[in-house]
A and B are shown apart, each in its own frame.
Chain A
Amino acid sequence: MSDVGLGTISFAGEVTISNIGEAHEQLGALLREQGGVVIDVEDLTETDLTFVQLLESARRKASENGVGLSLNKPAAGSLLEVLRRGGFLDDETSDRAQFWLQGAAQ
């Protein structure tokens, strides 16, 4: 599913409720160890609300701990679809929408 690198974690294939626990552990380890974390979602093919919820929680933790957290590229594909349907992109100027879209149009 993932491949933890220095400051970078890649989520590939399907990351859903069935394997979100693993994603939680790996991302948690990286947030504790690194001063900045980039989340690679390029090869993510399938995801759901648990992934979005996880990253929203991670975003808050990173902010509290002064750790940089960002996506390697704007959300697209399945992830964008979940964000759009789930109401996470309501205001494109919000921090949340900036995090997910990086200023890209929906």
Chain B
Amino acid sequence: MSGQDPVEIFRQEAQELFEDIEQGLLDLAHRPGDRDLVDAVFRGLHTLKGSGAMFGFDALAAFTHHCETAFDRVRKGEVAATSELVGAVLACQDHMRALADGRPAEAAAGEALLAELHRVVASAGGSTTETPAASAAADPTSAPAAPGLKTWRVKFSLPADALVNGTRPLPLLDELRELGECTVVAVTDAVPDFDALIPTECHLAWDVTLVTKHGRDAIEDVFIFVIDDMTLDIQDMTVARASVETPAKAPAEIVAEAAPQAAAAAPVEAANEGRAAKASGDTVRVPAERLDEMMDRVGELVIAQSRLKQLAASSSDIALRAVAEEIERLASEMRDTMMVVRMVPIAQLFGRFRRLIHDLARDTGKSITLSTEGEATELDKTVIERLADPLIHLIRNSADHGLETPEQRRAAGKPETGHIVLAARQSGAEVVITITDDGRGVDRARVRAKAEENGLIQPGQVLSDNELLQLIFAPGFSTAAAITNLSGRGVGMDVVKKTIEGLRGAIEITSTPGHGSVVSLRIPLTLAIIDGLLVRVGNGRYVIPLSSVEECVELSVEQDIRSAGRSLITLRDQLVPFIRLRQMFKTGPAPDPHQKIVVVSTGQERVGLVVDQILGDHQTVIKPLSPFHADAGAFSGATILGDGGVALILDIGSLVAAGQRHDAQMRAAS
């Protein structure tokens, strides 16, 4: 296995930094006086700048420097964290993302963003010239006399392997110089004898006297990347001078006392808990494709284990059976562990939408708040990635079509601010995600008119409310007339529905006129391996996802005759429609005398599936159908069985919908 590309590592870290910075900025828009948020944003920008420079992203580092400077001024109370400033930095961040991703970013666009940032900084209380610290550095004679300046003695040394690991002391010293008037003295006392020297190791130390307006935090921030491993001593010499009468030692003397013991020195004062946790190796960053590879291997293992189980079952060798059972247990545990490894909290996904709402509010002139619930709910990472686009579209729809303007809301007796709630919760082997808005609700008359206009329904055709709402998801419903620059983007709800169904999920919508709409997505936790119920219908074998199975009942010949072709059974006083899979799949000769009904459900809807035999549970490695069979609506995939045969996996959503249609027809006929 080869090492990971350092540039790629930087890009991954940069993505996390961008997310942190963005969240901080969005929070700051609501809490402009929150110092912790200002510090967090500043720290994020500072880290991004330093890290970018370290990995050769010079344009990114240079651009980020301007945003960092702006936030440094916010930190010092010179500039207010206005929503305009937050918006300008957010816009700059998009440019930074492009630079970090290596996407072509126009220099002119970057300059325009910076010009806007400088304008906003100036209007928020600051001037657009360089910071006072920089001015002080340029004019050292004026610095010591200026009020508010402090003299700091900064002594530091780096671990021996620092240079090999990519740490560059010179930029650290440059950054210290940026803080104010600086005298830098390199200390070479700890450099080993020439013959004992390992020339790639770093044995230098530095003693820096810094006169600056900045505090200890700013000095510590310079060492943000290396602070956990280095020796750093920061002394406020202003205080020291006042309290100690004896003359200060020469810089070289002071460092000479400390430097030889550099490696064994006391921990750095400002060690940050978060950074310490990261450094302690609690988590490991793994490329997503490696997880995918591992999942594939586990899938193959499960198939091989299934084959072994079958061989062992037909063998009288006790030892073979014991090994087969052990392998089955281990494969099952391995599968479960692998599943957990791939799970990520949905917060990762939800976090992105705060920015979306911020931009939507700006673009529509509406006042919108976003609440999220159940952010700790976990989903397979692949599912999360594929959910992003549909959710963006649904949220845009809610903000653009669902929510009214402040005036309209006021007229309707509602608060001016519209509210969108994004919630997730686990329900069995599924996650239910809802997008709720308190807007105007779906305009049924408009939907009907549009559907008639597009030929989706006939004029005057009788439809239930649910059927009418379902028209929104019909291909061709979204037309140019319905598309705005926000929600349309050339994509209709039919594409959203198709994407969700591609995830073996389901989408539903409920809406109350004047009160808003709720779009619910039911998404399986994983797309890779599921527990299934293996059944036989005629000569074919099929897998029913176990998460959908409610119960199994027998369909005797007498009951079958009693149903008189109506395909309904009574279960605990409730009529449940059933589908004869034998007829649907046109498979096999005469049915078994004792057929079974597997009752499956999605949400509140239930339907029975009539099968000839229930073969038992089966760990199902899901393989996608070929493009030629992708339109076979009743199946969501296929799996390989232990004997090398193939079983199709039933698409429960399609089957339940078919059962509902059948039920409706029966009711209409009776």
Which A residues contact B (CB, under 8 angstroms)? 17, 20-21, 23-24, 28, 31, 48-50, 53-54, 56-58, 60-61, 82, 85-88, 90, 96
B206 to chain A, nearest CB (A): 6
Q: Is B206 in contact with A87, judged by CB distance below 8 angstroms?
A: yes
Among the listed stretches B186-194, B257-265, B334-342, B622-630, which one makes contact with chain A, having 4 or more residues with CB under 8 Å of it? Answer: B186-194
Within 8 Å of chain A (Cβ to Cβ): is B373? no
Q: Is B191 in contact with A87, judged by CB distance below 8 angstroms?
A: no
6 contacts between A and B (CB under 8 A): A17-B200, A31-B194, A50-B199, A53-B203, A85-B184, A86-B184
Within 8 Å of chain A (Cβ to Cβ): is B551? no
B48 to chain A, nearest CB (A): 23
A66 to chain B, nearest CB (A): 14
A79 to chain B, nearest CB (A): 13
| Chain B residues in 8 Å Cβ range of A57 | 188, 191-194, 197
Contact for B174 among A31, A85, A90, CB less than 8 A: A85
Q: Is B194 in contact with A53, judged by CB distance below 8 angstroms?
A: no
For the complex, give the distance between the alpha carbons of A86 and B202 in Å.
Answer: 13
Sorted nearest first, the 9 A-B pairs with minimum C-beta distance are A87-B184, A61-B194, A87-B186, A24-B199, A20-B199, A57-B194, A90-B185, A85-B170, A56-B188
Q: Is A20 in contact with B186, judged by CB distance below 8 angstroms?
A: no
The residue of chain B having its C-beta at the shortest distance from the C-beta of A31 within the complex is B194
With known contacts A31-B194, A61-B194, A85-B174, A53–B206 Cβ distance under 8 A? no
| Chain B residues in 8 Å Cβ range of A58 | 194
For the complex, give the distance between the alpha carbons of A26 and B170 in Å.
Answer: 26
The residue of chain A having its C-beta at the shortest distance from the C-beta of B194 within the complex is A61
Contact for B197 among A54, A82, A85, A87, CB less than 8 A: A54
For the complex, give the distance between the alpha carbons of A48 and B166 in Å.
Answer: 12
The residue of chain B having its C-beta at the shortest distance from the C-beta of A81 within the complex is B170
Which B residues contact A (CB, under 8 angstroms)? 163-164, 169-170, 173-174, 183-186, 188, 191-195, 197, 199-200, 202-204, 206, 208
Contact for B200 among A21, A61, A90, CB less than 8 A: A21
| Chain B residues in 8 Å Cβ range of A20 | 199-200
For the complex, give the distance between the alpha carbons of A54 and B173 in Å.
Answer: 20
The residue of chain A having its C-beta at the shortest distance from the C-beta of B206 within the complex is A87
| Chain A residues in 8 Å Cβ range of B186 | 86-88, 90
| Chain B residues in 8 Å Cβ range of A90 | 183-186
Q: Is B202 in contact with A53, judged by CB distance below 8 angstroms?
A: yes
Q: Which of A17, A23, A54, A96: most chain B CB closer than 10 A? A: A17
With known contacts A28-B194, A49-B169, A17–B184 Cβ distance under 8 A? no
B456 to chain A, nearest CB (A): 68
For the complex, give the distance between the alpha carbons of A15 and B204 in Å.
Answer: 18
B261 to chain A, nearest CB (A): 19
Contact for A49 among B183, B194, B197, B204, CB less than 8 A: B204
Q: Is B193 in contact with A61, judged by CB distance below 8 angstroms?
A: yes
Q: Is A53 in contact with B193, judged by CB distance below 8 angstroms?
A: no
Q: Is A17 in contact with B164, judged by CB distance below 8 angstroms?
A: yes
| Chain A residues in 8 Å Cβ range of B173 | 85-87
For the complex, give the distance between the alpha carbons of A56 and B183 in Å.
Answer: 20
| Chain B residues in 8 Å Cβ range of A96 | 188
For the complex, give the distance between the alpha carbons of A50 and B169 in Å.
Answer: 11
For the complex, give the distance between the alpha carbons of A82 and B163 in Å.
Answer: 14
For the complex, give the distance between the alpha carbons of A101 and B201 in Å.
Answer: 25
Contact for B199 among A31, A53, A61, A88, CB less than 8 A: A53
For the complex, give the distance between the alpha carbons of A82 and B164 in Å.
Answer: 17
Q: Which of A31, A54, A57, A90: most chain B CB closer than 10 A? A: A57
| Chain B residues in 8 Å Cβ range of A56 | 188, 191
The residue of chain A having its C-beta at the shortest distance from the C-beta of B183 within the complex is A90
| Chain B residues in 8 Å Cβ range of A24 | 197, 199
| Chain B residues in 8 Å Cβ range of A49 | 163, 169-170, 202, 204
The residue of chain B having its C-beta at the shortest distance from the C-beta of A23 within the complex is B199
| Chain B residues in 8 Å Cβ range of A87 | 173, 184-186, 206, 208
For the complex, give the distance between the alpha carbons of A23 and B195 in Å.
Answer: 13
For the complex, give the distance between the alpha carbons of A82 and B173 in Å.
Answer: 11
For the complex, give the distance between the alpha carbons of A17 and B203 in Å.
Answer: 14
For the complex, give the distance between the alpha carbons of A56 and B192 in Å.
Answer: 10
For the complex, give the distance between the alpha carbons of A28 and B203 in Å.
Answer: 18
For the complex, give the distance between the alpha carbons of A24 and B195 in Å.
Answer: 9
The residue of chain B having its C-beta at the shortest distance from the C-beta of A50 within the complex is B199
B208 to chain A, nearest CB (A): 8
For the complex, give the distance between the alpha carbons of A23 and B198 in Å.
Answer: 12
For the complex, give the distance between the alpha carbons of A49 and B170 in Å.
Answer: 8
Q: Is A86 in contact with B170, judged by CB distance below 8 angstroms?
A: yes
The residue of chain A having its C-beta at the shortest distance from the C-beta of B203 within the complex is A53
For the complex, give the distance between the alpha carbons of A18 and B184 in Å.
Answer: 26
Q: Which of A21, A23, A28, A87: most chain B CB closer than 10 A? A: A87
B290 to chain A, nearest CB (A): 30
Q: Is B170 in contact with A17, judged by CB distance below 8 angstroms?
A: no
For the complex, give the distance between the alpha carbons of A17 and B163 in Å.
Answer: 8
B540 to chain A, nearest CB (A): 65
| Chain A residues in 8 Å Cβ range of B183 | 90
| Chain A residues in 8 Å Cβ range of B188 | 53, 56-57, 96
A73 to chain B, nearest CB (A): 21
Q: Is B191 in contact with A53, judged by CB distance below 8 angstroms?
A: yes
Q: Which of B163, B199, B208: most chain A CB closer than 10 A? A: B199
For the complex, give the distance between the alpha carbons of A43 and B209 in Å.
Answer: 34
| Chain B residues in 8 Å Cβ range of A50 | 163, 199-200, 202
